Amino acid sequence: MICADAKTGVVKWRQRLQAERLNFTISDISGPAVTESGRVFVYDWVTIKDRPMVKALIDAISSQSASLPCSMAPSVVDCFAVRTFDAMTGKEGSYFPMAAMGANGVLPRVSLLETQAGKEVAAVPPTMAGCPP
Amino acid sequence: MLNVPEYLGHPLIVNNALFALSASDLLFHWEPEVKWTMTRIHHPLPDVDRDISPTARFGGYPPAYAENGLVVADETTHRFLALITGQTQQQWHRDIMHSLGVPAVGDHFLYTGFGGAGGVSGIVALDPQNGHLEWMYAPKDPAPDPQQYQQILSPRSVEVPVYGSANRTVTDPRNGRKLYPVELKGYSTAMVPVPVLQPYSTSPFQHWSNSGLVVTKENIYGEVNHTVVALNRIGGTVVWKYPIGPMDVITSIVATPEHLVFCISTTRNGVREPVWSVARTKANRLVAVDLKEGKEVWTQDVPRPGNLALSNGLLFFTDGALHVLGPTEKPGDKNEIAQAVKAPTLGAGFGSSGRLSESAVLPSPR
């Protein structure tokens, strides 16, 4: 990913992304997106091998859901991620590894037939059909 | 190793937060260092046990931000359009029968193209407070987009009996041996895949090949039925039409304060494809028309279909490379449009030096 001066095209900074291609094309062609405060969001793929980091990621799930996802004893987290960079300097910020943070686990559900404003319904297990064709 | 992928679609930035819908049924929200939420959105089929009713398929649908929530839609399975107002709250949802284009929100209206390939059979305006129809523009009343049923496996939780050794022994009356009986200890929950039929559009995810809408203070602009139309934003009446050919599709559309700029691709077989997977087109061109009357100001042939974006008076066109078109005259110069008509040249893409070597004549946004 590069950041270039809009008027001159001079490259200000560049950052290497891990994934040459993401399997879901929309993820591949979407973004990057930039906030007014200067944070760049970009989709990528991450492999996390650092054990404390893996453990911290898994522990973080408990703040989202009372139930742990289905297979939560990994030593490596390898998944789609949202990464962030500072728009001015290109310095990497925090990132969000989807699978590690519970995207494949039990999550809250809004059911369009049962949910009224202010009323919650039960959590649901992960989808099993995978991505659409 | 955890490696089950969950991919996200077009990001929507609201203040410092990112919202996105996944390929499957996930709504993702993340404001770094502050908060994140993930929610699955379910639109159960009316005649199927809700626990196993198939989940939504967003296909990375681009969400839109209304004043009080997030506009989301599944235009492929059990189709719906909804306004999500909290992690597990909706304000309203509508069942729909058509494909959808890319939504837009402006001044108390929610707009979207709908119907047929690319969701370009018409445009509707809804009230984002309640989802009620405000107006609809559809030259030919579009029939519901066809669906078929496919069998998928849906997870169902079942109670599984758990047996274990009893805390007692019994004696076999035949030989006097001590036996350690097994007894029911309780139940655990297991997930079992259950086959279930899911309606699925024969042409799924038509927002992939929709170029979106442009909303201004007075009008809304978009592709409908082989035309680019300008519709009055409040009532949906036609302001002007710019016809395109029967094999032409609009792949991208943007507007400066005075001009509407779009990319037209002439397909070989009339089949619409997402801009990233277009294999071969007969011709591609950029067209600029004036916003008020739809009169053509300039056209420019381009080698491939691509996406347009505007920033700081420059027009960016990405077709695998990044091209930049910019004004050569000062804003307000009366000659600028006349100069633009003289066939603007497409700015060169990034060379190895990472510098732009030239730019093109383009009416300046004011």
The residue in chain B having the minimum alpha-carbon distance to the alpha carbon of residue A126 is: B155
A24 touches chain B (CB under 8 A): yes
DSSP 8-state secondary structure symbol assigned to residue A124: B
Task: Tell me whether residues A43 and B154 touch, CB distance under 8 A.
Answer: no
Contact B264, B285 (CB under 8 A): yes
Residues of B in contact with A132 (CB under 8 A): 23-24, 57, 59, 76, 204-205
Beta-bridged to residue B217, according to DSSP, are none
- Is ipTM strictly over 0.90? no
Q: Is A66 on the interface with B (CB under 8 A)?
A: no
The DSSP H or E segment spanning B42 is strand B35-42
How many angstroms away from the CA of B181 is the closest CA of chain A? 32
Asked if pLDDT for residue A121 goes beyond 70, the answer is no
Lookup result for tokens 């500072």: A86
Contact A88, B11 (CB under 8 A): no
- Closest residue of chain B to A32, computed from CA coordinates: B11
Question: CB distance from A89 to chain B under 8 Å?
Answer: no
Residue A76: its pLDDT value, please? 76
Verify whether the Cβ–Cβ distance A7 to B312 is below 8 Å. Answer: yes
d(CA B196, CA B198): 6
Q: A89 with B25: CB under 8 angstroms?
A: no
The model's pLDDT over A34-70, given as tens digits with 9 standing for 90+, comes to 999 999 999 999 888 877 777 776 665 544 444 444 3
CB proximity A109 to B under 8 Å: yes
Question: Which residue among A2, A94, A115 sits closest to B32, beta carbon to beta carbon?
Answer: A94
pLDDT of A129: 37
The residue ranking higher by pLDDT, B316 or A75, is B316
pLDDT at residue A104 in the model: 62
**What is the model's pLDDT at position A126?**
47
Nearest CB partner across the interface for B36, out of A2, A96, A133: A96
Instruction: Flag if A25 and B15 touch (Cβ within 8 Å).
Output: no
pLDDT value for B193? 87
CB B166 within 8 A of CB B105: no
Please give, rounded to a whole number of angstroms, the shortest distance from the CA of B58 to a CA of chain A: 9
* B contacts of A25 (beta carbons < 8 Å): 274, 276-277
Nearest CA in chain B to A120: B88
Q: What is the mean pLDDT of chain A?
A: 76
Asked whether the beta carbons of residue A76 and residue B1 sit closer than 8 angstroms, the reply is: yes
Contact A70, A112 (CB under 8 A): no
Distance CA(B309)–CA(B26), nearest Å, equals 28
pLDDT tens for each residue of B324-346: 887 754 544 433 322 232 333 34
Q: Which residues of A touch B28 (CB under 8 A)?
A: 98, 103
Contact between B88 and A127 using a beta-carbon 8 Å cutoff = no
Regions of chain B where pLDDT drops below 50 = 1-3, 329, 331-366
Give the containing element (helix H, strand E) for B336.
helix B336-341
Interface test with B, best of A18, A22, A86, A112 (most B CBs within 10 A): A112
